[in-house]
Amino acid sequence: MRRLLRRPDPHAVREALAAKYLHGDGIEIGALNAPLRVPEHVRVRYVDCAEPDVLRATGYGEVSSIQWPEIVADIETLAGIDDCSVDFVIANHVLEHVENPLRALAAISRVLRPGGFGFIALPDKRFTFDKRRAITPLWHVVRDFREGPQWSRRGHYLDYVANVDRVRDGEALANEYERKAQNIHFHVWDFPAMRVMLDYAASVPETGLTIAHAQQNRSEAVFILCKL
């Protein structure tokens, strides 16, 4: 009889990494109904890009155990949070929603103290509704960073409509999404592609976050990034 091996619970993996790497005072971006469980001695403030009233209007008010934001800031700037002011930044399943992920990583680096950590979890496209979509290549992310994401926005919506919504001739729906600034996964990666992007980010002076730890965690990957 074959013995079945139980895979680690993904939340348990996250919590073990939090216990190892997180200390002091930090922020979590976009936690809402799924905040990371951190050690008791760790202090977290919650950040989101919208006010609580706006989030309630989108349906989050009907969900229990919500961590409403104490700070309203866009992850691409983290405006209002001082330079070198936090020991850690948590952003789980956030960067894929960001049009300019390297700019977001630069903002995370800016607010971290030297020796601080970024705790980043990203969905692996192979195990999500993005599985039909092509991996976002590094050159694309770099161009978004250098030129701004306006050049690629339309293509992302068309790709999403075709490969996630599976709508043929989805021009009209893509137009509507773009007009509404629909929240989608703009970029998609598998685990190796995530490493390529984050290794590149370590070489960029504005970002400068080195990978301290990386592992596949069921349908996601978790990266611990250190500001030297």
- The pTM of the full predicted model, rounded to 2 decimals, is 0.93
pLDDT of residue 119: 98
pLDDT of residue 132: 97
| Yes or no: domain 10-127+187-227 corresponds to CATH 3.40.50.300 | no
Q: What are phi and psi of 9, to 5 degrees?
A: -65, 130
pLDDT of residue 212: 98
pLDDT of residue 130: 98
What one-letter code names the amino acid at 118? G
pLDDT of residue 1: 43
pLDDT of residue 44: 97
Tell me which residue of 211, 197, 208 sits closest to 137, measured CA to CA. Answer: 197
What is the C-alpha separation between 169 and 173, in angstroms, rounded? 9
Find the length of the chain: 228
In tens, the pLDDT along 151-180 reads 999 999 999 999 999 998 999 999 999 999
What one-letter code names the amino acid at 129? F
pLDDT of residue 176: 96
| E-strand stretches of the chain | 25-29, 43-48, 71-72, 86-92, 112-123, 209-217, 220-227
**Which residue ranges in the chain fall short of pLDDT 50?**
1-2, 4
Between the alpha carbon of residue 44 and those of residues 26, 80, 125, the distances in Å are 5, 16, 29
Characterize the bridge pairing of strands 209-217 and 112-123: unpaired
Q: Would you kindly state where each structural domain of the chain is located, as residue ranges?
A: 10-127+187-227, 138-180
pLDDT of residue 32: 86
